[in-house]
Structure 1
Amino acid sequence: MKFIHSADIHLGSMLNVYDENLKEYSDVFRNAVYDAFKKIIDYAIDIKVNFLIISGDLYDRDGKSIKANSFFNLQCRRLLNENINVYIAAGNHDPFVGKREIFNLPENVFICSSEECSEFEMKDEYSNIIARVYGNSYRGKSDSRKLYNSYNPVDDNVFNVAILHTELNPNNFNYVPCTLENLKSKKKMSYWALGHIHKCRILNDIQPVVAYSGMPQGRDIGEEGIGGCLLVEVNEVNKPSIEFLPTSSVVWKRVEVDINEVTDNQPKNLTELINLMESKAQHIINQLENIPSGLHTNVDLNGIVKGYAIRWIIKGRGSINTIFEDSEDDLEEIIKENLNSKLMNYSKFIYTDSIDVRLEKEIFNIEGLKNDNTIVKEIYELCDEFSEKDDLRKGIIATFGQVWESNYDMENINYLKMQLDEDTFQEILRKARELIIYSLMEEK
């Protein structure tokens, strides 16, 4: 038996790319989410799977797009022609699924109830039950029920699949609170097909297998990396093997450009910096994209990925920092325009989405100071402690003020506050460290 586990399709959304200078690529960015779902359907047909699982958030929002609904129906009719069923649990983005359909759903599409745990039987050509699928849909945009308690297979003689849309956080009552241990305790369950977290991860690789398939197509830098779905093959003793199937036509990436990489050839002006970034871009094109850890794929990634959307992080210590500090122009935007005019023409396009400048002032023999100067050494050590020790970390975050939100929900961001994610926290520490050290050096 074979099935595909997918989740978080978010039909009706598009990539967060807004650049009037790139109109010829607008269709690529607008249709990437749809293309990813079509690839899932292509895989299902080519591999001849028995069924397809969608673990929540098939659609992006309540105001269902007619285009999205029509597209979904057309793709499911392709599966109907191949006798492939589709089992869906509604998530927090699309609790309306099955309740306010614009088109009649094809008869091969089954939607889990929002009131009780649904059970579906999958039979072979001889009418033998080869799998049971269990699932429970969200009632609304949040759901505080401990739904896993209602997933109770009648036996473990067949492969039992559970569809659940959860954050796996027992303290977050918006998204079906539970723990990994709660799911693992359901011994009759064979496979937990999870949705909601947009990163593909295998959390438990023995029965019951617990897995997030991740998002098929990232839409911004917060959803970086290649997305896809999971092909699950089950042998005679109900033991599953899992393969990653890539679906992202556009891959979001953070790329660091360290100006100190070659100590005797640091970029001294914008032309040299842009040239360095171009050489990094060439490396991106030539490098095989990493798939999720612990998984393998038999798919040629070169046939899937059309291009990349990059956030460049420019770091290091050198004289070029003065150009950024003294300029009244938006140098980041100038660099972005220069890069896009060149890199969008590559065999796999490279779109520069944003540039994060983290350059530091020139300080003579900084490495020597870190080793020999007691104060500088203590500043570095203190910053390391703030990063690693929870009590110190909480203390320093408390001094940041109420404008920052450190425990935020990515699905319900408070836009009146600044979001203190890990990357931002580390950058605040770095800037504070540099400001103190440079001030000490000036006084000296």
Structure 2
Amino acid sequence: MLRFIHCADLHFDRTFEGLHLITQVKELPLANNQVLEKIVTLALDEQVDFLVFAGDIFHQNRPSLKTQHQFFKQMNRLKEQDIPVYMIFGNHDYFEKERYWFDFPENIHLFTEEKVRTIHGKNKTGESYAISGFSYQHPWIPTSKVSEFPKKAATYHIGMYHGDSNGERFAPFQIQEMKQKNYDYWALGHIHVPTVLSKTPPIIYPGTPQGHTQKEKETGVQLVTLDGLTVHYETKRVAAVTWEDYELSLSGMKSRKDALEAMKAFFQTSQRQLVKFSLKDTEHLPIDWLNNREKPELIAYLNEYLAQNNFEQIVYQLEVIAVPESEKLVLTGKEVMAQLLASYQTNEVFETIIEELATHPLIKRTISSQTLKEETLAQVKTTLEQEFCWSEEE
């Protein structure tokens, strides 16, 4: 039996994107260290035979000295337990030896060339295995590499491949051609969404272990067991922080204060999450109760509240879900709007309604009563058109 962890697209030194409205961004890169630590801890707890890293372990092909030191520190934890690591380089971290400040630990077996090669090994129970793979030495490889892979050459044979079956620049491949090699497992990298291209044999993208954008919500690594007859693979979640979308109903609320209290009350337990709030059922709140200028202020306030109350969530985006047209109050008749507005056209009626505003000294000096009336009624007309559905009379 053979057990290993398949990881790809760690992008260890990548920043979190789409968080321009929050101030806690500087703290988030620490999550990358925690993710790698969790992967190594998983390997130790599961007593796997080895790990495979299928490319783009680093986001840059010139990782910083600090990044390299942190990575090798975790790899040395595996070395202490005699757990090998097999590593290929992808289009982001394409291999250039002179870019590294340290020697790779002895337990790391590198594929450093674009030419496919095979490394043979035995696990602690004496079962033999072979791992075939290649690395990028440039930002792209426009041709398939599958034909270079040898036929199965050990009790267990694993292929490592960083590429895109639907692309043109990143080692494009055909699934059927991979199947013809008779391998037990193909450990893919490059696509950040967990994807099973084939079950027999497994040809799998594990996805990225840690999402760095709001599109990368499904994450993980694969824990794989091969026993010669069957293959078992299981997704293990190792993300240090997750991206979550939540809808919050503000039904029946009529003031900003009520809406704010509902947003604060939504959080009951602390979780490491980046939160997008979608606010719905806002029809009873004042028109334009939350404009684009105020959203950053509201986000900042909520995050300050969460931090002060020891919640680990961070709100990074707010949106108001418009009331669907089908749910708006329907007013019938072509003449209804005209009649509604006509009753306020006369100066006497209009000035009675806005008497306090119209007689204000500042208003009187800067705008005529006629202009004020025209602009006010134009705004009322626009609001009526937007807030209600208008149907034809039968």
Q: Do the structures match in fold with TM over 0.5?
A: yes
Residue-by-residue CA offset, 1:226-272 (whole Å, 9 max, x unaligned): x321111222x24221222221121111222344xxxxx43323222
Verify: 1:246 aligned to 2:237, yes or no: yes
For 1:82-101, what aligned pairs fall within 5 Å after superposition?
82-96=81-95, 98=97, 100-101=99-100
Which residue of structure 1 aligns with residue 7 of structure 2? Answer: 6
Residues in 1 aligned to 2:188 and 2:115: alpha-carbon distance in whole angstroms: 18
The answer to whether the Cα contact below 8 Å between 1:321 and 1:359 also exists between their aligned partners in 2 is: no
Separation of aligned partners in 1, 2:3 and 2:311? 33
Rounded Cα–Cα distance in structure 1 between residues aligned with 2:112 and 2:229:
27
Of residues 168, 172, 184, the one that matches 1:190 is 184
Partner of 2:354: none
| Native 8 Å contact 1:36 1:248 kept in 2 | yes
Q: Partners of 2:387 and 2:256 in 1: how far apart?
A: 27
The 1:120/1:365 distance shift into structure 2, 3 A limit, reads closer
Distance 1:109 1:310 in 2: 37
Distance 1:203 1:274 in 2: 46
Say whether 1:119 aligns with 2:82. no
The residue matched to 1:4 in structure 2 has which SS?
strand
- Pick one of 151, 170, 173 that aligns with 1:175: 170
Q: Structure 1 residues 182, 360: closer, same or farther in 2, change over 3 A? A: farther
- Matched with 1:134 is 132
- In 2: Cα distance, 1:180 partner to 1:351 partner: 41
- What is the identity percentage for the equivalent residue pairs of Structure 1 and Structure 2? 22
Q: Does the residue aligned with 1:271 lie in a helix, a strand or coil?
A: helix
Q: Is the 8 A contact 1:6 1:54 kept in 2?
A: yes
Larger gyration radius, structure 1 or structure 2? 2
Q: SS of the residue aligned with 1:176?
A: coil
What TM-score, normalized to structure 2? 0.76
Write out aligned runs for 1:416-431 (5 A).
Answer: none
| Distance in 1 (alpha carbons) for counterparts of 2:309 and 2:159 | 43
Deviation at 1:84?
1.0
Indicate conservation of the 8 Å contact 1:310/1:354, yes or no. Answer: yes
Q: Output the CA distance in 2 between the equivalents of 1:124 and 1:250.
A: 34
Write the distance in 2 (CA, Å) between the matches of 1:178 and 1:90.
17
Residue identity in the other structure for 2:168: F
SS at structure 2 position matched to 1:241: strand
Aligned with 2:156 (options 144, 151, 159): 159
Deviation of the 1:50 alpha carbon: 0.9
1:150 to 148, 151, 159: 148
The superposition leaves residues 185-235 of structure 1 with CA deviations (integer Å, 9 ceiling, x where unpaired) of 335111111111222233333x2102111111122312224x321111222
Is the 2:51–2:84 contact (alpha carbons within 8 Å) kept by the matching residues of 1? yes
Shift of 1:339: 1.6
Q: Of 341, 351, 361, which aligns to 2:304? A: 341
Distance 1:138-1:77 versus aligned 2 partners, 3 A rule: same
TM-score, normalised to structure 1, is 0.68
Alignment partner, residue 229 of structure 1: 221
Letter in 1 for 2:316: D
List aligned pairs for 1:31-42, cutoff 5 A: 31-42=30-41
Q: Distance in 2 between matches of 1:100 and 1:334?
A: 43
Structure 1: gaps (5+ residues): 260-264, 287-305, 374-434
SS of residue paired to 2:300: helix
1:318-346 Cα deviation digits (max 9, x unpaired): 14361247x5x712112212321222355
Is this contact kept in 2: 1:164–1:193, CA < 8 A?
Answer: yes
Q: Which amino acid aligns with 1:9?
A: L
Q: How far apart, in 2, do the equivalents of 1:276 and 1:186 lie?
A: 58
Residue 275 of structure 2: aligned partner: 310
Contact kept, 8 Å, 1:90 with 1:97, in 2: the verdict is no
Alignment of 1:254-333 (within 5 A): 254-259=245-250, 265-282=251-268, 285=269, 307-316=272-281, 318-320=283-285, 322-324=287-289, 330-333=293-296
Unaligned runs of 5+ in 2: 334-382
Partner of 1:418: none
Per the alignment, do residues 317 and 341 of structure 1 end up closer, same or farther by CA in structure 2, a change over 3 Å counting?
closer
Offset from partner CA, 1:357-401 (integer Å, 9 cap, x none): 33248x6854989xx99xxxxxxxxxxxxxxxxxxxxxxxxxxxx
Deviations 1:392-435 (A, max 9, x none): xxxxxxxxxxxxxxxxxxxxxxxxxxxxxxxxxxxxxxxxxxx9
Contact persistence 2:8–2:57 (CA under 8 A):
yes
Structure 1 residues 216 and 442 mapped into 2: Cα distance closer, same or farther (>3 Å)? same
Q: Distance in 1 between matches of 2:313 and 2:151?
A: 48
SS in structure 1 at match of 2:161: strand
Aligned alpha-carbon RMSD (Å):
3.1
Partners in 2 of 1:179 and 1:356 — Cα distance? 42
Runs of 4+ in 1 over 6 A off after TM superposition: none
1:278 is aligned with what amino acid?
Answer: K
**Distance (Å, rounded) in 1 between the aligned partners of 2:294 and 2:262:** 16
Residues 1:439 and 1:271: Cα distance change in structure 2 (over 3 Å): closer
Amino acid at match of 2:288: I
Matched length: 340
> AA paired with 1:177?
P
Cα distance between partner residues in 2 of 1:348 and 1:68: 28
Q: RCO greater where, 1 or 2, for CA within 8 Å and sep 6 or more?
A: 2
* Match among 205, 215, 226 for residue 208 of structure 2: 215
